[in-house]
Structure 1
Amino acid sequence: MNRRTFLKCAATGGAAAAASFSAEARASRSVPQDPYGCLVDLTRCVGCRKCEQACATVNNLPAPSTPFDDPLVFDVRRRPTPEAFTVVNRYHTGRVDERNRLVPTYIKVQCMHCQDPGCVSACIVGALTKKDNGAVHYDESKCIGCRYCMVACPFQIPKYEYSDPLTPRVRKCTFCFERISRDGGTPGCAAACPVEAITFGKRTVLLELAKKRIRENPADYIPYIYGETEVGGTSWLYISAEPFEKLGFLKLPSRPIPQTAESIQHGIFKYFWAPLTLYGLLGAVMFRVHKKGKTDGTGSEHKGENQ
């Protein structure tokens, strides 16, 4: 083995060892035991979009093209954008009231602030972190714009500022991190809701509240809390009168995304299978090319020409 080959092997081995150590370190981290969260009662939401307006105010976001009091916005299904961290959509599932009129269901969409977030696991520079208070916090000073978080998010929430060529950021709901970090602070959307469709508090308390409402009013709710177990649990929880699959909610496994991704990564790098396989393939290619050259006589021709 010459010096150049030795250095290549050493560098590859070091990278594999670092990746293995990184995977083990991430896999061993703990999630917050009882973070803050929000319970959204979809039977109470009236689609006033006060939560959208409060979010824009708290986060200094630009005014939307469609005013907050314009109901025509519900004609188009929307997703959060770099300029709108939360949006409300309207769904008709066929449910009618006592007068046989269609009853809409309004759905608030934002970052779910997972207990064990896939975006945090995917971020290679630590720009995204899960805080003890429940927020998945973004530090734009660390972000390098790789956008792995966008791929890793099972809810497809983070958005990138493609319109900003100089200082683009990844944008999403902040869970009003600064507000809830202070004693008594409440997310802007929860504080602004006029019908108390959004309840802010400790996650364990919210789960008990949700179960109590379902237990005491079985005709008004389906017996399920969305976010209790999805991808390991989320800080945003939902209860509804309609099946969640009819309201645009994704059906997701209970296993956290990082556990699956990191176990695969750890298995690949633990015994250096990745570099060994790579160099094995390269060696096979080099052997095949060298053998083909001898068979074609190209090696002897080149030798004759050189002489």
Structure 2
Amino acid sequence: MSSRRDFLKGALAATGAMVGAGATPVQARDTYTRPPEAMGLLYDATLCVGCKACMAACKEANNNPPEFNTVDKLWDTPLDTSGHTFNIIKMYRNGTMLEKDAEINGYAFMKTSCMHCADPSCVSACPVSAMTKDPVTGIVGYNPDKCIGCRYCVVACPFGIPKYQFDDPLGRIGKCELCRHRHKDGHYSACAEVCPTGATLFGRTEDLLAEAKRRLALKPGTVAKFPRGRLRPATEKMLQGQADGKGEKRRHGWRDEPDQIYEGTVGKYVQHVYGEKEYGGTQVLKLSAVPFEKVGMPDLPPYSSAATSETIQHTLYGGLLMPIAVLGALSWVAKRNVKPDDGEEG
């Protein structure tokens, strides 16, 4: 016990000496914001019917195997996101479960997948840049060729999204990347493409936020029109591309297709767009009639912990402050505990 106490005293003394010698404290940086053209999803739980077509489409688009949690193994039955399940629909249940989207004696659905944070902790925590955030689309991507399997991203994410594929001998992480590998072929997120009611909608995050607020302003119980698939304003710039030498527009990537419309009943929304401010903002936004904390969404501050953690790291390791302090403490403890030989004078 005394050795541990001596070590801590030495570390504090060495650190104090370094600070006193003129170490410059690092100021906390601001939380990063979403890129102007950030792409994302809007999930409206009141429109979700729990068909799980989005889950099946996600599996197919990402070549992920089924996961079985039943004895018969007749179909894909994951209980949560995993290294092979990037998107899942969970269910809130209360009492008699007679009314959809009712907090009491009702039930509701909630989509769980990567939120594509404006300032993602997984990217900040990754020591080898295997996790990256696209500066234009804002999509949080993963490069398995760089990954060393440390799983810092797993620990860092406040939503518990990146998952380790323990059955892979190379050690890979699995997570939603908004189907970015399909964009070059004119497709967008598979979960939004197949959603029959528009509960999952793809588009530019700012357009999705405007659509979410439009829905919050609608009168509950009335019939309204909801866009399906993707929002046209969200992809218009990408459709047009850059002007060529002839003054024409090169149309590439995203498919030029008419907007799809679903007519449904307006729900009794909680007057809040989840993801607008949480954790500094996310590119996946959510609407619900049941309080978000009851459908599994964490209550997070309006700033990312990445800004705080990076500040701490830079403070401790800037100018080799912490390594020198620890080395000094170890040297102090070692010298204190060295006993002179019998032939040496005390």
CA distance in 2: counterparts of 1:204 and 1:82, whole angstroms: 30
Q: Is the alpha carbon distance of 1:31 and 1:125 closer, same or farther for their aligned partners in structure 2, counting shifts above 3 Å?
A: farther
Name whichever structure is richer in strand by fraction: 2
Q: What do residues 167-213 of structure 1 show as CA deviations (whole Å, max 9, x unaligned)?
A: 2211111210122355x532000001011101111111111111111
Report the Cα offset of residue 51 of structure 1. Answer: 0.2
Q: Does 1:117 align with 2:131?
A: no
CA distance in 2: counterparts of 1:211 and 1:34, whole angstroms: 19
Residue matched to 2:86? 85
Residue from 159, 169, 172 that aligns with 1:155: 159
Name whichever structure is richer in helix by fraction: 1
Residue matched to 1:301? 342
Q: Is the alpha carbon distance of 1:243 and 1:270 closer, same or farther for their aligned partners in structure 2, counting shifts above 3 Å?
A: same
Residue matched to 1:205? 207
Q: Is the alpha carbon distance of 1:230 and 1:27 closer, same or farther for their aligned partners in structure 2, counting shifts above 3 Å?
A: closer
Structure 1 gap ranges (5+) = 1-19, 294-298
Partner of 1:61: helix, strand, or coil? coil
Contact preservation (8 Å) 2:149, 2:172: yes
Partner of 1:260: helix, strand, or coil? helix
1:1-307 paired onto structure 2 within 5 Å: 31-65=34-68, 78-93=79-94, 96-97=98-99, 102-131=105-134, 132-165=136-169, 167-180=170-183, 184-217=186-219, 220-290=268-338, 293=339, 299-302=340-343
CA distance in 1: counterparts of 2:198 and 2:152, whole angstroms: 35
Contact preservation (8 Å) 2:148, 2:171: no
Partner of 2:153: helix, strand, or coil? helix
Residue matched to 1:12? none
Contact preservation (8 Å) 2:34, 2:283: no
Give the counterpart letter for 2:166 in structure 1: Y
Give the counterpart letter for 1:159 in structure 2: K
Give the counterpart letter for 1:215 in structure 2: A
Report the Cα offset of residue 271 of structure 1. Answer: 4.7
Contact preservation (8 Å) 1:27, 1:262: no
Q: What do residues 251-306 of structure 1 show as CA deviations (whole Å, max 9, x unaligned)?
A: 1111112101101112212354313321331232023113xx2xxxxx241559xx
Contact preservation (8 Å) 2:88, 2:111: yes
Structure 2 gap ranges (5+) = 1-22, 221-266
User: How many residues in Structure 1 have an aligned counterpart in Structure 2?
Assistant: 267
Q: What do residues 113-162 of structure 1 show as CA deviations (whole Å, max 9, x unaligned)?
A: 11111111111111111112131111111111111111111111111111
Give the counterpart letter for 2:205 in structure 1: R
Contact preservation (8 Å) 2:69, 2:79: no
Q: What do residues 31-89 of structure 1 show as CA deviations (whole Å, max 9, x unaligned)?
A: 5233011100000101100000000111111134369xx9996xxx9220122111111
How big is the alpha-carbon RMSD for the aligned residues of Structure 1 and Structure 2? 3.0
TM-score computed with the length of structure 2 as normaliser:
0.70
Residue matched to 1:4? none
CA distance in 2: counterparts of 1:205 and 1:124, whole angstroms: 34
Give the counterpart letter for 1:155 in structure 2: F
Contact preservation (8 Å) 1:133, 1:181: no
CA distance in 2: counterparts of 1:283 and 1:152, whole angstroms: 33
Deviates more, 1:212-221 or 1:80-89: 212-221
Q: Is the alpha carbon distance of 1:93 and 1:215 closer, same or farther for their aligned partners in structure 2, counting shifts above 3 Å?
A: farther
Residue matched to 1:5? none
CA distance in 2: counterparts of 1:220 and 1:61, whole angstroms: 36
Residue matched to 1:296? none
CA distance in 1: counterparts of 2:150 and 2:118, whole angstroms: 23
CA distance in 2: counterparts of 1:125 and 1:271, whole angstroms: 21
CA distance in 1: counterparts of 2:320 and 2:190, whole angstroms: 49
